[in-house]
Structure 1
Amino acid sequence: MTDHPDSAAAEGWRGGQHSPWDAVLFDPARAEGTFLLGLAAARLGRSEAAMRWFRRTVRLQPGWMDGWAALADAGRRAGRWREAAAANAALLVLAPAHGAALANLAMLERGAGNPRAAVRRFIRALALDSGQAGTWNNLGNALRDLGATAQAAAAWRRALALDPGQADALGNLGGALRDQDRYAEARVLLRRALALAPQHAALHGVLAYALSGEGRLEEAERACRRALALTPALADPLCTLGLVKQRQGGGDALRWFDRAVAATPGHPLARFNRGLAELESGALADGWSNYACRFAAGRAGRERRFAIPEWRGEPLAGKRLFIWREQGVGDEFLFASCYADAIRQADHVVIECEPRLLPLFARSFPKAIVRAEQPLRGRALVEMVDCDVHVPAGSLARYLRGRLGDFPPRSSWLIPDPARVLERRQQLDGIGGDLRVGIAWRSQLMTMERQWAYLPLDDWGPVLGVPGVTFVNLQYDDCEAEIQRAEARFGVPIYELERLDRKNDFEGTAALTANLDLVIAPANSVAELAGALGVPVWRFGARDWTHLGSGVRPWYPSMRVFHPHAGEPLSAALGRIAADLRRAAVLARRAGAEAPGPRLPARPARRDHPQAPSLRRH
């Protein structure tokens, strides 16, 4: 949302400081007369006529700054960007310190797709007069275009400090908070903005998205419909209404996504959301096609440019393929299930991975060259890779998993370090009963929206109360206080290996996970790693697109999914896990009694062994 500062000189004439008839009636050929006629035409909304009079004004008096300022303003209003820019440039030749001209020219630079030049001009304008709230707001817009979100927010806050009633700055800052998933803070600012500008359709749309992120779906729907009542073909609220309908369980979400695409052809977020809905329903061909919009929609990492073409599914025989990472570690484990098929098809494959995964991936894909991802600051704008084609990791499935029958039956695709597996086995020996179960309960990225998919450890009582089970912590953030509280509350130890950095040492975590009988986790990287290692994993949470219309997650043969039924809370799924875990513990105990010899990994009967090396309980 942008402010458009008018020239101060033009405002002076509009304010009646001069009588237009004084000049026009006596000598209509004078520059003052043509200038006033231009102002009169501008007031009547006749922008082309206004420009003709202002052009005549500057021809008659080329050194008159007010004439150039009025021509620049009229050109902007008429959408004649080049002429407006030329007029502002002429004004700056006459007055290099003309703040309004600098700000106007900056807006034209931004409109022409040159945000970096716009930022420089806005900063020059503010150096001349730092009290212009509209210029601070517009500087924030240009900084946002450059991806400098923190600096943009600071500029919008400066605008609001100067003018708390700046609706555009309130809306922009609210939108930025929404993009950071700070939905509640965004809602407060956006409601303030709408109190000042209640007919601003786009602001209602931004508010709708923030409300949707908070889970306030009915309010979000009302905000969408208010926006659409003001501007029926506004794509963003159409798209948000589709999301709301999808979360409400309605069957008409696709209709709203389609309307958004029709309103703004190619609308990337609507196409991306449509793709997720299609994948979730099992419509893989269309779903993968629309999932390709994830970069333009801002739902994946930054899209990268290469000097080589992108692979589009053509035969790879005789070609060198570069696979690059694009999303989080959990997604990387999932997409890596396609790597072996790509390696078989291409003569030469280079795999880029998150640096912490380098040794694990290098061991798991020995026929490929595995490289650590280069830091963003070290990359060229157009990257050079010694390959023939490139592909983002998330696009492999489009060409290798076009239908459910294309998912191979292989149980695993990641191989832990055998030496570290043995080391972890020795550390685990001496503790526990007949069943060792690793647990994790949340993701590292805990946005308000994602909190719906997780349950705190305090809610794990039914699971932790199952007898005959040894629980091992796999949660990879600071969780010591939570574990101590759960141990005290439920009377069960939760073990964890000392000197294991579960966040950064994926080799050690993979070796530990490979020694467990079972992993129980929600949608996070712990569950994805366990599935990629072929360890039995029970994943709980709502259905998502990765189920691909099935009752399982076909990527992971060793994974079972536990979903809450319609109308149930997420804890109901955890209750069913507890019931199945109780049965599994009974079977493990019977198997142990019938075959008391060692198994892999060997487990003595005692539950707690204070001499267990490098193992501690809270």
Structure 2
Amino acid sequence: MTDHHDSAPAASRRGGDGSPWEAVLHDPARAEGAVLLGLAAARLGRAEAAIRWFRRAARLQPGWADAWAALADACRRAGRRREAAGAFAMLLSLSPADGAALVNLAVLERAAGHPRAAVRRLRRALALDRRQAATWNNFGNALRDLGATAQAAAAWRTALALDPGQADALGNLGGARRDQDRFAEAGVLLRRALALAPQHAALHGVLAYALSGEGRLAEAERACRRALALAPALADPLCTLGLTVQRRGGTDALRWFDRAAAASPGHPLARFNRGLAELESGALADGWANYACRFAAGRAGRERRFSIPEWRGEPLAGKRLFIWREQGVGDELLFASCYADAIRQADQVVIECEPRLLPLFARSFPKAIVRAEQPLRGRALVETVDCDLHSSAGSLPRHLRGGLADFPPRSSWLFPDPARLLERRQQLDGIGGDLRVGIAWRSQLMTLERQWAYLPLDDWGPVLGVAGVTFVNLQYDDCEAEIQRAEARFGVPIYELERLDLKNDFEGSAALTANLDLVIAPANSVAELAGALGVPVWRFGARDWTHLGSGVRPWYPSMRVFHPRAGEPLSAALGRIAAELRRAAALACRAGAEAPGPRPPARPVRRTHPQAPSPRRH
């Protein structure tokens, strides 16, 4: 939320030659008269007429600061940002210590996408007067634009120390907590702000987003509607309302996204959210076009700029294509399903991947040049690569997956190291029953908003209670205590391989996963890796855009999806998985009984067990 400082001339001032205002009121040929006529027009709501009079005053007396202040303020109020910025700049050339002009010009520079210039102006304003709470609030806004979130929060806290009734600073601080997924803290701050400014529509919208993040969807919807009752064309609460309706199972989310886009043409979050809804419904052409707004909407990594053009679907014959990663590892594995198609079409492809994936990708795409992603700090503002075209990984499906028929029938696109594969097979031989099942239960990025897509291991009783199954841990973070607790509660061992870092050793993880009969996991990189390797995988969770309007995830032929039905908790999906697993275990048991010869002897495997837990080792 942004403040400004009024900088129009006071009615009691005298003109540049000292004559009283009354003497020149009806003399528009003099600058003072033009200013007074402009003020009168402004009071009557005739903004354009006021601007014309103030322009005349500035032409008649270019060195009169009050004329430029009046023109700047009138243009700002009329939304003519460029002209307002020029007038404020002229005012500052005449009066460099005008703090209000510095703040107003900084606000305009922020709106024009120049936060560094805004920060410089606001530092100057604060050097003139550090007691202005509104200036500190705007300083925090500009710092936030630069990504300096800690400094921004400190500036907002200073604004509140100077003026505890600064509703905008409270709202900004609450918005920062919301962006950190600290939704409960955000709600406290935002309610304080709304107690001070109950008619502040944008604050109701920010509160709605925080409530949605807490899963308090009915309250979030009410907050959205309160914001829209105050300001029907406010795009952000329209977007939040669409998301809330969608999460509550409503069917009219698209109309709210459309209203947001109409209220703020080109609004990136509205277009992105609409794109996800379109993809989820199977409208791929429009969905991919709107999905391209993910960078501007802040829903992907930082967009990169290159000295070469972006690939927009034109023929790649004779061209060199550079592909760069943009999101998390799970998304990277999914989008990598398109790499082989690009390699087949282009003369040469250079793939930049997450460093941990480098050996796996280099083996799996031998005709491409594969290299590790460059650190962000070492990148140029405009990057130069030895290729003709570039594409982010998430933009490839727009040109290669226009319909479900464009998904090739290949069973996998990643291939583990044969030596590591044999090593893991030897480690697994001889443990447990006839069906080896890898399990994972959450994502590494566990925010309050995302927690609804996952179930703790304590809730896996129906699955872990299936007889004839050997469970192998694939959860890649610190989960030792959870495993021991589940073993003690359900009386079943969960095996882990010694000296295997599931988080950082993707070669080892791929070799282990490829040796399993089945993987059960939610929406995380474990499920994506299993699908990319062609291993049977059962993925549980809510339906999302990656289903592309189908009952499966067409990216992964080996993947089966289990969704909770309308009104069911997520645990219901695990119950259906347990029923299917019992059937699979019975089939594996019969097949094992018919197979000749005993299993080979066991190799070194660490088993966590409730009676004899051992320390976790990689």
Partner in structure 2 of residue 179 of structure 1 = 179
| SS state at 2:539 partner | strand
Partner in structure 2 of residue 373 of structure 1 = 373
1:507 maps onto 2:495 in alignment? no
Given that 1:51 and 1:75 are in contact with CA atoms closer than 8 Å, whether structure 2 keeps it comes out as no
Given that 1:109 and 1:118 are in contact with CA atoms closer than 8 Å, whether structure 2 keeps it comes out as yes
Partner in structure 1 of residue 559 of structure 2 = 559
Partner in structure 2 of residue 153 of structure 1 = 153
| SS state at 2:219 partner | helix
- Rate the CA distance shift 1:597–1:292 in 2: closer, same or farther, 3 A: farther
- Rate the CA distance shift 1:61–1:297 in 2: closer, same or farther, 3 A: closer
Shift of 1:89: 4.3
- Rate the CA distance shift 1:422–1:140 in 2: closer, same or farther, 3 A: same
Shift of 1:362: 0.1
1:168 maps onto 2:168 in alignment? yes
| SS state at 2:520 partner | strand
1:23 maps onto 2:38 in alignment? no
Partner in structure 1 of residue 361 of structure 2 = 361
Deviation by residue 1:66-92 (Cα, 9 ceiling, x = unmatched) = 666555444533555566545544554
Partner in structure 2 of residue 281 of structure 1 = 281
Given that 1:431 and 1:603 are in contact with CA atoms closer than 8 Å, whether structure 2 keeps it comes out as no
Question: Partners in 2 of 1:141 and 1:326 — Cα distance?
Answer: 26
| SS state at 1:382 partner | coil
Shift of 1:594: 1.5
| SS state at 2:315 partner | coil
Question: Partners in 2 of 1:244 and 1:53 — Cα distance?
Answer: 47
Alignment of 1:413-492 (within 5 A): 413-492=413-492
Question: Partners in 2 of 1:233 and 1:84 — Cα distance?
Answer: 24
Partner in structure 1 of residue 537 of structure 2 = 537
| SS state at 1:437 partner | strand
Deviation by residue 1:329-368 (Cα, 9 ceiling, x = unmatched) = 0011111111111111111111111111000000000011
Question: Partners in 2 of 1:555 and 1:463 — Cα distance?
Answer: 26
1:385 maps onto 2:385 in alignment? yes
- Rate the CA distance shift 1:61–1:443 in 2: closer, same or farther, 3 A: closer
Given that 2:495 and 2:605 are in contact with CA atoms closer than 8 Å, whether structure 1 keeps it comes out as no
- Rate the CA distance shift 1:405–1:49 in 2: closer, same or farther, 3 A: closer
Shift of 1:34: 8.1
Partner in structure 1 of residue 125 of structure 2 = 125
Deviation by residue 1:374-396 (Cα, 9 ceiling, x = unmatched) = 11222222221211211111122
Partner in structure 2 of residue 569 of structure 1 = 569
- Rate the CA distance shift 1:66–1:403 in 2: closer, same or farther, 3 A: closer
Given that 1:519 and 1:538 are in contact with CA atoms closer than 8 Å, whether structure 2 keeps it comes out as yes
* Aligned partner of 1:615 among 574, 592, 606: 606
- Rate the CA distance shift 1:431–1:227 in 2: closer, same or farther, 3 A: same
Given that 1:168 and 1:193 are in contact with CA atoms closer than 8 Å, whether structure 2 keeps it comes out as yes
Deviation by residue 1:474-515 (Cα, 9 ceiling, x = unmatched) = 111111111111111111221212222111111111111111
Partner in structure 1 of residue 325 of structure 2 = 325
Given that 2:333 and 2:529 are in contact with CA atoms closer than 8 Å, whether structure 1 keeps it comes out as yes
Q: Which residue identity does 2:584 align to in structure 1?
A: A
Decide which moves more: 93-102 or 284-293: 93-102
Partner in structure 2 of residue 593 of structure 1 = 593
Partner in structure 1 of residue 498 of structure 2 = 498
Question: Partners in 2 of 1:350 and 1:476 — Cα distance?
Answer: 29
Deviation by residue 1:260-295 (Cα, 9 ceiling, x = unmatched) = 222222322222222222222222222222222222
Shift of 1:445: 0.9
| SS state at 1:567 partner | coil
Given that 2:54 and 2:67 are in contact with CA atoms closer than 8 Å, whether structure 1 keeps it comes out as no
- Rate the CA distance shift 1:416–1:197 in 2: closer, same or farther, 3 A: same
- Rate the CA distance shift 1:61–1:234 in 2: closer, same or farther, 3 A: closer
Shift of 1:417: 0.9
| SS state at 2:20 partner | helix
Given that 2:54 and 2:70 are in contact with CA atoms closer than 8 Å, whether structure 1 keeps it comes out as no
- Rate the CA distance shift 1:54–1:271 in 2: closer, same or farther, 3 A: closer
Q: Which residue identity does 2:20 align to in structure 1?
A: A
Question: Partners in 2 of 1:254 and 1:156 — Cα distance?
Answer: 35
| SS state at 2:472 partner | strand
Q: Which residue identity does 1:613 align to in structure 2?
A: P
Question: Partners in 1 of 2:92 and 2:54 — Cα distance?
Answer: 21
Decide which moves more: 211-220 or 432-441: 211-220
Partner in structure 1 of residue 616 of structure 2 = none
| SS state at 2:299 partner | coil
Q: Which residue identity does 2:307 align to in structure 1?
A: A
Alignment of 1:98-247 (within 5 A): 98-247=98-247
Decide which moves more: 138-147 or 412-421: 138-147
Partner in structure 2 of residue 301 of structure 1 = 301
Given that 2:518 and 2:536 are in contact with CA atoms closer than 8 Å, whether structure 1 keeps it comes out as yes
Q: Which residue identity does 2:222 align to in structure 1?
A: R
Given that 1:23 and 1:32 are in contact with CA atoms closer than 8 Å, whether structure 2 keeps it comes out as no
Question: Partners in 2 of 1:71 and 1:203 — Cα distance?
Answer: 30
Given that 1:305 and 1:381 are in contact with CA atoms closer than 8 Å, whether structure 2 keeps it comes out as yes
Decide which moves more: 264-273 or 349-358: 264-273
Question: Partners in 1 of 2:502 and 2:591 — Cα distance?
Answer: 31
Shift of 1:327: 1.0
Q: Give 5+ residue unaligned stretches, structure 1.
A: none
Question: Partners in 2 of 1:581 and 1:188 — Cα distance?
Answer: 45
Shift of 1:318: 1.5
Q: Say how many residue pairs are matched.
A: 603
Shift of 1:50: 8.0
Given that 2:487 and 2:493 are in contact with CA atoms closer than 8 Å, whether structure 1 keeps it comes out as yes
Q: Which residue identity does 2:518 align to in structure 1?
A: L
Shift of 1:187: 2.3
RMSD of Structure 2 on Structure 1 (CA):
2.9
- Rate the CA distance shift 1:397–1:65 in 2: closer, same or farther, 3 A: closer
Q: Which residue identity does 1:407 align to in structure 2?
A: F
- Rate the CA distance shift 1:250–1:31 in 2: closer, same or farther, 3 A: closer
Deviation by residue 1:402-449 (Cα, 9 ceiling, x = unmatched) = 222222221111111111112222222342222211111000111222
- Rate the CA distance shift 1:36–1:388 in 2: closer, same or farther, 3 A: closer
Question: Partners in 1 of 2:489 and 2:421 — Cα distance?
Answer: 32
Partner in structure 1 of residue 271 of structure 2 = 271
Q: Which residue identity does 1:615 align to in structure 2?
A: R
- Rate the CA distance shift 1:145–1:494 in 2: closer, same or farther, 3 A: same
Decide which moves more: 549-558 or 220-229: 220-229
Shift of 1:203: 2.2
Partner in structure 2 of residue 316 of structure 1 = 316
Q: Which residue identity does 2:5 align to in structure 1?
A: P
Question: Partners in 1 of 2:108 and 2:273 — Cα distance?
Answer: 33
Deviation by residue 1:564-611 (Cα, 9 ceiling, x = unmatched) = 12211111111111122222222222222221436xxx555xxxx7xx
Given that 1:531 and 1:537 are in contact with CA atoms closer than 8 Å, whether structure 2 keeps it comes out as yes
- Rate the CA distance shift 1:370–1:224 in 2: closer, same or farther, 3 A: same
| SS state at 2:360 partner | helix
Q: Which residue identity does 1:128 align to in structure 2?
A: L
Alignment of 1:89-104 (within 5 A): 89=89, 91-93=91-93, 96-104=96-104
Given that 2:37 and 2:53 are in contact with CA atoms closer than 8 Å, whether structure 1 keeps it comes out as no
Deviation by residue 1:216-268 (Cα, 9 ceiling, x = unmatched) = 22222222222222222222222222222222222222222222222222322
Partner in structure 1 of residue 525 of structure 2 = 525
Q: Which residue identity does 2:411 align to in structure 1?
A: S
Question: Partners in 1 of 2:82 and 2:319 — Cα distance?
Answer: 47
| SS state at 1:306 partner | coil
- Rate the CA distance shift 1:443–1:112 in 2: closer, same or farther, 3 A: closer
- Rate the CA distance shift 1:546–1:33 in 2: closer, same or farther, 3 A: closer
Q: Give 5+ residue unaligned stretches, structure 2.
A: 614-618
